[in-house]
Chains A and B, each alone.
Chain A
Amino acid sequence: MTGPEANPAEPDLRVARWAMWLPLGLFLSFVLLVVGGLLRPADHDVPSRMIGQPLPQFALRAAVPDRPGLARADLATGKPHLLNIFASWCIPCAVESPQIDALAGQGAEIDGIAIRDHSDDLAAYLARNGNPYSRIGADDVSAVQLAIGSSGVPETFVIDGKGVIRYQHIGDIRAEEIPAILAKLREAS
């Protein structure tokens, strides 16, 4: 009982020089992790995992009287298509509509799926914003939307000639994004 130095059975309480800094180092790396997470812009997109997968079987009734409905077979015609998921009640869709028109003007084949929409609301929307769609299917319970891994409106899918999903664009298409969409469409053909 003469002190820790004299007793060999007592554990050595002196801490190595580098180990003294260990708690501070751990704390600082934690702070770095948190600050990094706070500064990174939030990404709320939920991308579809169906890219590279064939479209599931579906057949939707016509959403408006002057365009036919949409089935899987209409998208696997040997020619790539754009599949626009939209709705008359969706404001970003209306914002996007000039770009959809422009894409159709540059030769893109565009089909639409209207999510949870009334026929007369949709007809008014198309009269107001233009109707570049070849076919528009009505998805009243989001069944096809869920089946292709889409989580909102608007979204635009590139479908190749065999009916395989090649690309997904989440959110409205901006004017500067048109060339990229056309490039994806060319890639799919």
Chain B
Amino acid sequence: MQNLLNRALKVADAGEVYKRDVKTASVSLKMGKLKDIQGEKKREVSLRINKGDRMGFAVSNSLEDETIVERALVALENQESKAAEFPSESPRMVFSYSQEVEKLTTKDLTVMVYKLHDRLNRKAPDVPTAISIHKTIKRVALKNSSGFYESYDYSNLSISLGTITEKGFMGASKEFSSGKVTEITDRELDYLLEMHKLGRTQITLENERLPVIFSGKVMGALMLRVLGGVHGGNVLKGVSPVKNRIGEQVFSEKLTIRDDGKMNFGVNTCLFDDEGTPAKNTIIYDKGKLKSYLVNRDQAKKLGQEPTGNAIKRSLFSKEIEDKPSVFDTNLIIEGENREDELMIKGVKRGILITGVMGAHTGNINQGDFSLNISSGYLIEEGELKGQVKGAMVSGNIYELFKNVEAIGMRYEVMRSIFYHMGYSPMVLFSEASIVGK
């Protein structure tokens, strides 16, 4: 890394080399038969340089790439990005890596999927399943010309459990994602099978306004819109609905949202972000009151706040390094006035539990609009789950919906934002949402 930095500093005033070595393995089992087993070992390298008041950026797979400095210079000369600030603050320790995960071989993962299959099969021999396990190990290092030279290890084990319907389509599903090996309890398997069973009773709804419970997983579709609002770039561009609203009561006081990059073994836990800012625990909404935006170093300066450690080199649809760092979530955590999950469902006279949605990436995300197909949802009547809702949509705007939080559950699930996991949430009950039925 030092050699590349030296090469860069021959033509630039300041520089930063980022290196990420990634190893992954994934195994999946569908209807009791192993599918492709995949592995990967890749290196990703990026260079940022400052010259005068400008910044340039380039990406490669190798520290020895002879064109990377030249490409960063072309970028610098052609783009109007201001010179980046390269920090020197040393980060404190975080728990982002488990040796136990790294030690798992592809064979171990294969044994794990078979065991999960056997457990489900013993409980419900007639229910076909789809199970997958994905292991990731990353070694991330960042060195800049301000003297920062730090690295950290990251591990993740993500498990997806699903059932298959009589017509061969995906039925109920559950996802788990952690930096360490976590046991899946019988209660979770029973829950999955119960949801599958409910799918056999199909219910059509009218167009109506109903209380709605979003499961922890599907809260991700809504949190994508929360993120659009507190994204420092959107605030600066003037397209955020919460611009100039720090301190205001925006959401229900029952709801607290924070972004915790330091969370022990979280799905996106990191020692520092991709600009070198140490990971932080940022309260975004405290009891519904807007406390902070999520910002990179440049936006922090412009908005007069501290950088929050959310500058990540990825895009909405790719975790490969393709762009300069942009603002993304680390581990978004939803907290608040808790109620046991079962009690929450029992308290609903007529409403819907939504456990799967489609279309999270459509509509005006930054404005908070959503119009989601309920790919997996269940009608609740008199506190009982009655059957699966067929062909319905839920639509609205989070700045209305989040004012109407009734209660927040106890059991945390990993949230999904389209392709990737974005933190953890329990189920959340909203007093009313617009449902489009038949």
| B is bound to A | no
| Contact surface of B with A, Cβ cutoff 8 Å | none
